[in-house]
Structure 1
């Protein structure tokens, strides 16, 4: 799991049928969580907004409930305070 900040969103008009109707957010991992990683895109089903700190599940954990979707990162929580 990664803690990061939502810094933007991406709009894609052409995508896998399994991703239609989903929102994509650009995530910047917090410095302590980065471990050399840069920004990445995560699917957002919980309604996070730009500027919010979020919890992101990666790998197979990101596909829970979306087994047939090509997803590698998913926003799973919004951090209230850290």
Structure 2
């Protein structure tokens, strides 16, 4: 599991039927020191929790993503949580506004 930031949505009218019940989100890994900042390549994740643009989220990949989305859904990345607070070395480095 890792932290990522939601940058936007991906709209796809033609997709695998198992994906019909999910919103597709554009996410980018969160910065280690400042989770509200993102870095690296973007990826598309299925949203199983109702996350919004700008939120810091928990994402899982591989088999864990398929389990979270349901066994019948082809996915390699899933948003499984929305971060309220991130604490590192006893200091709050992120707090949801």
| TM-score by shorter chain over 0.5 | yes
CA distance in 2, matches of 1:37, 1:58: 16
Bigger RCO of structures 1 and 2 (CA < 8 A, at least 6 apart)? 1
Aligned to 1:67: 71
CA distance in 2, matches of 1:26, 1:72: 13
TM-score (norm 1): 0.88
1:80 aligns with 2:81: no
Offset of residue 21 of structure 1 = 2.2
Larger gyration radius, structure 1 or structure 2? 2
Aligned to 2:25: 25
Which deviations, in whole Å up to 9, do the C-alpha atoms of 1:45-73 show, x marking residues without a partner?
21100000000010000011511211100
Gapped regions of structure 1 (runs ≥ 5): none
Moved over 3 A (4+): none
The two structures, once aligned, show a CA RMSD in angstroms of 1.7
Query: Structure 1 or 2: larger strand share?
Result: 2
Gapped regions of structure 2 (runs ≥ 5): 87-97
TM-score (norm 2): 0.76
How many residue pairs match? The answer is 80
Query: Structure 1 or 2: larger helix share?
Result: 1
